[in-house]
Amino acid sequence: NGKQGCGDSFVGEGFTNRKNQASLLEKHNKSTAHQQASRKCIDLMNQNQHIEKTINKQTDQARIEYRIRLGASIDCSWFHLRQGLPFLGHDESKKSSNNGNFLKLFTLVMWS
């Protein structure tokens, strides 16, 4: 609504008295509504905060993390194949203390 800050002068009615125009403009520029709108405008124009760029950044980060996990999986598989080790244990659940060579090695590789 036009009643924020300095009233309706900037939105609906316009100025009726030119003498008060400068003081109203100064008052408006200092108002909370104007300050918030200015910050939102700057944020909108800032390419680093642009939604598409933010989504692409998240997508790039997810892609990097996926490649790290994929690389670790391939390395662990390659190690097991070269050593002739079994991949599975008797109990593959997360609660198990011995849930298989592959999962133990994978955890070790991912945390290092």
- pLDDT digit string, tens, across residues 24-47: 777 777 888 888 888 888 877 776
End-to-end Cα separation, the chain, in angstroms: 57
Q: How many CA atoms lie within 13 A of 70 on its CB side?
A: 6
Q: 41 and 63: one domain?
A: no
Same domain, 102 and 56: yes
Question: Rounded to an integer, what is the distance from CA 77 to the centroid of its chain?
Answer: 33
Span 48-88, pLDDT tens digits: 667 777 777 778 888 899 888 888 888 888 888 888 887 77
Domain that holds residue 99: 51-111
**DSSP, residue by residue, 41-58:** HHHHH-GGG-HHHHHHHH
How many separate domains does the chain show?
A: 2
Specify whether 68 is located in the same domain as 99. Answer: yes
Specify whether 22 is located in the same domain as 59: no
Question: Same domain, yes or no, for 56 and 93?
Answer: yes
CA distance 52 to 95: 41
Whole-model pTM?
0.41
Q: Are residues 104 and 76 in the same domain?
A: yes
Does residue 34 share a domain with residue 67? no
